[in-house]
């Protein structure tokens, strides 16, 4: 959830309306700086910075961002726009803000008349700003990315009447089902460990855990079972880690945190922003948009997705890792979507010429507009079936019986790395931001990785909408993880990318991916052991996308059972709580993926065939 660039106890907040002093020469708007402590209803005081254009001819609307990462310092920022007063606030318990910090504090019990949460803190802040910031026009927008995106959504649950519009960018929606800390119940080890240490080791600054090895793959493997974390390092003193340990299933603790259950209607215009290669919160904005869309009677709910990693819409979007996009997609978003959004709702300027969904189509590098997301018109759902000889095709398998399978041995002592080694720490290491676009050939010859591939495509294949894996698989163990990836394989004569000059011949680019922890195949509340050596059908949501597999490219489906250390190792032996497993619980398992007429493993893709 973290996007701030840290410097001591302050952060360079990522805002579409603010830039650092070292920005380009055209960014010339000088700002008046004010730091105040804003009182909350329970007496807590929240550190807040107000940046106002020094020269203004009329009252201005305010844009608020609430963050746990630090606020700008007195000399750290100018404004990109003279149209707004910008307000940044540290959450309670962070930096100079008083009160207790609670990671993703859920809404308080309505029976608590003096209860507080991020919704009440946003309301109290807006109320104070309206009365105490000179030159405001009485209208407020709230925006943010990641954790600040989540506080934006929390403010939208019961918004102050003065709040006229929201932009949530990469807000998490559910920390057990699809965002930062778990995906489908599988624990995101390196991220969860390092992020907990970052925010909860000290309230006065952001802390980076000090690894004693350059390759954290080795460090986490040497850590052994998750039960060793408290014994060796955290000693029960990191609250979020203790929550992981005590809530290994999808219990009320996690359900109370998800914002989805509190979103009953769209109460103010809201724009949801996602990045196709967001390494932290790709799931969240899609699910929040989906939930609100069911009650959007006023047409206030909009969706945008671009070719970005986490927070890249606030910077340069011309490229990501090796990929070039032919233009600065982030600048396009800011100038054509985000700026006009607030101008329309907060200043009454212009027209809202925005489609229900605006997405960047990778492969062709074009912006597309749709009247629904995922689109319903002109879509044909087709299955790419796993075939003998590691082939992938639209033809249904002809062979029958239980002997039509491919197999591998999954060994927790030698897990598949999630990115090329050495694996640097999540923060502040740069590789974390680009791992989803790294060439997957670094694992394609491992014996514990299976892959099926089409022939070169005779024509472009446009995939728009929900992608799903239908997997028939067995394990010799009693628990297992299943990772499925949909990959775009470039031709051997593919040219280098013009923007990045990276050679793309044979490149294997992840388009969609996900993991499912087998114990949760029937229920995330009540885990069950897997029947050993018995085929089980799994349906794995690979989420939405907008991508064109170009003529001459191949499509690959890949399956494996470890993805380390971004995900913890499944012991492959069912235990009640993996956080309490012992080193001796981790065992090898024989994994089989079936591809027969009765057990036809496939990836289901939404092929766009025309309007």
Question: What does the domain layout of the chain look like in residue ranges?
Answer: 5-102+125-173+258-370, 379-608
* pLDDT given for residue 610 in this prediction: 81
CB 432 within 8 A of CB 423: no
Q: What is the pLDDT of residues 169-180, one digit of tens each?
A: 999 999 999 999
Q: What is the pLDDT of residues 442-486, one digit of tens each?
A: 998 899 999 999 999 999 999 999 999 999 999 999 999 999 999
Length of the chain, in residues: 611
Mean per-residue pLDDT for 569-594?
Answer: 98
571 exposure class (CB count in 10 Å sphere: 0-12, 13-18, 19+)? buried
Q: CA–CA distance from 214 to each of 200, 219, 225, 334, 426 (Å)?
A: 23, 8, 21, 37, 12
> If we measure between CA atoms, which residue out of 484, 482, 543 comes closest to residue 518?
482
Asked if domains 5-102+125-173+258-370 and 379-608 share a fold, the reply is no
* Spatial distance between the Cα atoms of 168 and 151, rounded to a whole number of angstroms: 9
The rounded percent of the chain whose pLDDT value lies above 90 is 86
- Assign 3-class secondary structure to 474-496: EECCCCCEEEEEEEEECCCCCCC
CATH architecture of 5-102+125-173+258-370: 3-Layer(aba) Sandwich (3.40)
Flag the least confident range among 111-120, 245-254, 594-603.
111-120
Beta-carbon-side half-sphere exposure of residue 225 (alpha carbons within 13 Å): 19
Q: What element of type H or E holds 549?
A: strand 536-549
Torsion of CA 18, 19, 25, 27, to 10 degrees: 0
32 exposure class (CB count in 10 Å sphere: 0-12, 13-18, 19+)? middle
Q: What element of type H or E holds 52?
A: strand 45-53
- The backbone torsions φ and ψ at residue 450, rounded to the nearest 5 degrees and listed phi first, read -105, 145
Q: What is the pLDDT of residues 226-276, one digit of tens each?
A: 999 999 999 999 999 999 999 999 999 999 999 999 999 999 999 999 999
Q: Is the pLDDT of residue 112 over 60?
A: yes
CB 285 within 8 A of CB 278: no
Mean pLDDT score across all residues of the chain = 93
Q: Is the pLDDT of residue 10 over 50?
A: no
**Is 195 strand, coil or helix?**
helix
**Is 6 strand, coil or helix?**
strand
* pLDDT given for residue 203 in this prediction: 59
* pLDDT given for residue 447 in this prediction: 98
Q: Is the pLDDT of residue 290 over 80?
A: yes
Q: What is the pLDDT of residues 512-541, one digit of tens each?
A: 999 999 999 999 999 999 999 999 999 999
* pLDDT given for residue 600 in this prediction: 98
CB 593 within 8 A of CB 472: yes
Q: Is the pLDDT of residue 3 over 50?
A: no
Q: What is the pLDDT of residues 375-411, one digit of tens each?
A: 999 999 999 999 999 999 999 999 988 889 999 999 9
CB 192 within 8 A of CB 242: no
* Spatial distance between the Cα atoms of 58 and 549, rounded to a whole number of angstroms: 51
Kindly indicate whether the domain formed by 379-608 is annotated with CATH number 3.30.450.20. no
**Residue 55 CB partners (closer than 8 Å, separation 6+):** 30, 82
Chain position carrying tokens 């040219």: 495
* pLDDT given for residue 56 in this prediction: 83
> If we measure between CA atoms, which residue out of 601, 573, 592 comes closest to residue 448?
592
Q: What element of type H or E holds 369?
A: strand 366-370
Q: Is the pLDDT of residue 339 over 80?
A: yes
- The backbone torsions φ and ψ at residue 130, rounded to the nearest 5 degrees and listed phi first, read -60, -35
Question: 558 pairs with which residues across the strands?
Answer: 451, 485
Phi-psi region of 271 (alpha: psi -120 to 50; beta: other; left: phi over 0): beta
What tokens appear for 238 in the block? Answer: 């990191």
The terminus-to-terminus CA distance of the chain in angstroms comes to 37
Mean per-residue pLDDT for 105-117?
Answer: 89
Q: What element of type H or E holds 452?
A: strand 450-453
* pLDDT given for residue 204 in this prediction: 65
Sign (positive or negative) of CA dihedral 61, 156, 169, 117: positive
Beta-carbon-side half-sphere exposure of residue 520 (alpha carbons within 13 Å): 23
* pLDDT given for residue 228 in this prediction: 96
Mean per-residue pLDDT for 598-606?
Answer: 98
CB 473 within 8 A of CB 593: yes
* pLDDT given for residue 16 in this prediction: 57
H-helix segments, 84-200? 118-132, 147-157, 189-200
* Spatial distance between the Cα atoms of 445 and 459, rounded to a whole number of angstroms: 28
Q: Determine how many CB atoms are found less than 10 A away from the CB of residue 17.
A: 22
* pLDDT given for residue 205 in this prediction: 65
290 exposure class (CB count in 10 Å sphere: 0-12, 13-18, 19+)? middle
Q: Is the pLDDT of residue 589 over 50?
A: yes
CB 386 within 8 A of CB 424: no
Q: Is the pLDDT of residue 11 over 50?
A: no
Q: What is the pLDDT of residues 417-441, one digit of tens each?
A: 999 999 999 987 789 999 999 999 9
């Amino acid at each position: 959830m973290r996007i701030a660039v840290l410097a001591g106890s302050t952060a360079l907040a990522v805002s579409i309306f603010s830039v650092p002093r070292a920005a380009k020469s055209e960014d010339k708007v000088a700002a008046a700086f004010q730091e105040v402590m804003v009182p909350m209803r329970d007496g807590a005081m929240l550190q807040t910075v107000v940046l106002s254009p020094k020269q203004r001819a009329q009252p201005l609307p305010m844009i608020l961002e609430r963050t746990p990462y630090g606020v700008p310092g007195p000399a750290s920022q100018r404004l990109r726009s003279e149209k707004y007063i910008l307000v940044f606030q540290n959450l309670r318990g962070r930096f100079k803000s008083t009160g207790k910090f609670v990671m993703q504090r859920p809404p308080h019990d309505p029976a608590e008349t003096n209860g507080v949460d991020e919704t009440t803190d946003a309301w109290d802040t807006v109320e104070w700003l309206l009365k105490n910031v000179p030159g405001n026009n009485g209208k407020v927008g709230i925006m943010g990315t990641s954790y600040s995106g989540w506080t934006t959504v929390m403010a939208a649950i019961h918004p102050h009447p003065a709040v006229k519009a929201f932009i949530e960018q990469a807000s998490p929606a559910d920390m057990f089902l699809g965002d930062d800390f778990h995906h489908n119940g599988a624990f995101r080890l390196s991220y969860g460990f390092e992020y907990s240490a970052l925010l909860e080791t000290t309230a006065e600054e952001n802390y980076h855990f000090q690894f004693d090895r350059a390759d954290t793959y080795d460090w986490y493997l040497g850590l052994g079972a998750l039960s060793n974390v408290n014994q060796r390092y955290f000693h029960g003193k990191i609250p979020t880690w203790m929550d992981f340990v005590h809530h290994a299933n999808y219990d009320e603790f996690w359900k109370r945190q998800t914002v989805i259950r509190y979103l009953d209607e769209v109460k103010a215009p809201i724009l949801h922003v996602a990045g196709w290669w967001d390494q932290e919160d790709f799931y969240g904005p899609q699910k929040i948009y989906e939930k609100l869309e069911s009650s959007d009677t006023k047409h206030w709910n909009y969706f945008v997705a671009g070719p970005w990693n986490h927070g890249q819409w606030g910077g340069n979007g011309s490229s990501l890792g090796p990929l070039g996009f032919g233009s600065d997609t982030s600048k396009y978003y800011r100038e054509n979507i985000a700026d006009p959004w607030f101008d329309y709702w907060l200043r009454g300027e212009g027209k809202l010429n925005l489609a229900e969904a605006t997405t960047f189509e990778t492969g062709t590098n074009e912006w597309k507009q749709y009247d629904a997301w995922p689109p319903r018109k002109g879509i044909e759902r087709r299955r790419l079936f796993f075939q003998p000889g590691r082939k992938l095709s639209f033809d249904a398998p002809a062979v029958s019986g239980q002997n039509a399978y491919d197999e591998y041995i999954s060994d927790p002592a030698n897990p598949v790395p999630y990115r090329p080694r050495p694996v640097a720490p999540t923060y502040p290491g740069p590789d974390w931001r680009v791992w989803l676009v790294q060439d997957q050939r670094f694992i394609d010859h491992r014996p514990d990785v299976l892959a099926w591939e089409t022939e070169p495509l005779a024509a472009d294949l446009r995939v728009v909408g929900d992608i799903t894996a239908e997997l028939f698989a067995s394990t010799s163990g009693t628990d297992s993880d299943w990772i499925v990836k949909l990959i775009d394989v470039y031709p051997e004569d593919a040219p280098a990318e013009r923007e990045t000059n990276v050679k793309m011949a044979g490149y294997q680019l992840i388009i969609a991916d996900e993991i499912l922890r087998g114990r949760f195949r029937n229920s995330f509340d009540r885990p069950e052991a897997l029947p050993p050596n018995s085929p089980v059908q799994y349906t794995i949501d690979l989420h939405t996308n907008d991508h064109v597999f170009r003529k001459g490219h191949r499509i690959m489906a890949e399956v494996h059972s470890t993805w380390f250390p971004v995900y913890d190792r499944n012991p492959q032996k069912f235990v009640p709580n993996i956080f309490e497993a012992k080193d001796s619980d981790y065992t090898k398992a024989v994994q089989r993926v079936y591809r027969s007429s009765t057990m036809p493993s496939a990836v289901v893709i939404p092929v766009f065939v025309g309007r």
